[in-house]
Amino acid sequence: MSVLVGKKAPQFAATAVVNGGEFVENYSLDQFIGKKYVVLYFYPADFTFVCPTEIIAFQDAIGEFQARNVEVIGVSTDSQFSHWKWLQTEPKDGGIKGVKYPLIADATMNISRAYDVLAGDYNYTEDGEIFFDGNPQAYRGLFLIDKEGLVRHQVVNDMPLGRSIEEALRIVDALQFFEENGEVCPAGWHKGSKGLVATQEGIAKYLGEK
């Protein structure tokens, strides 16, 4: 598994479904450089079971992300047509109707491979024939990308393990606190908590005040 933290986020241009049903060709992260943070997350597949709980939870919290100048983007290896159909299906019927943020179609699996969250990959037989070894779906990867296009945080869950949207917001808050104040964020830090000056005196003062 690649560690992308501290590196430029892999770029891509792919079809996205936005605003609950509009197709956008050549959707890329370039448009956010210098303007917005990005939470880019991967999920295994449309029309599954854990995935809609995460996707809808992100939508429920979208105002919190927008208030922090963060663009939320979902990605799976499904086609844009699968995304569109799922977005037209009511939640009571297993759908995600009401989700407005972009869902990227990674049918080629190139984006999932670039972020190293693909659960399988192409391989060759002894006769030189190509085949896909493993699962052609993405693990539950999440990447926080800053306004310069650098990955500042990543976490990858196995497919049965849903993520915490609250934790994603906490990490955004921590990064923005560091950028604004120059202080680092100690264990369990939440918005409104004290930061820590990264010196011996700073840690002594912090621990002494706990």
| Phi-psi label, residue 104: left if phi above 0, alpha if psi -120 to 50, beta otherwise | beta
Task: Tokens for 64, please give them.
Answer: 């919190």
Q: How many CB atoms lie within 10 A of CB 74?
A: 23
Nearest to 105 by CA among 38, 31, 12, 39: 12
| Catalytic, out of 39, 40, 51, 169 | 51
**Residue 128 CA: distances (Å) to CA of 37, 62, 118, 121, 131:** 43, 47, 22, 15, 9
51 is catalytic: yes
In angstroms, the first-to-last Cα distance of the chain is 37
CA gap 43, 103 in Å, rounded = 10
Distance between CA atoms of residues 157 and 1, nearest Å:
12
Find the helix or strand (DSSP H, E) in which 204 lies.
helix 200-209
Q: Which amino acid is at 180?
A: E
Task: Say which DSSP state 5 is in.
Answer: T
Measured over the CA atoms of residue 173, residue 179, residue 180 and residue 185, the dihedral's sign is positive
Supply the residues annotated as catalytic.
51
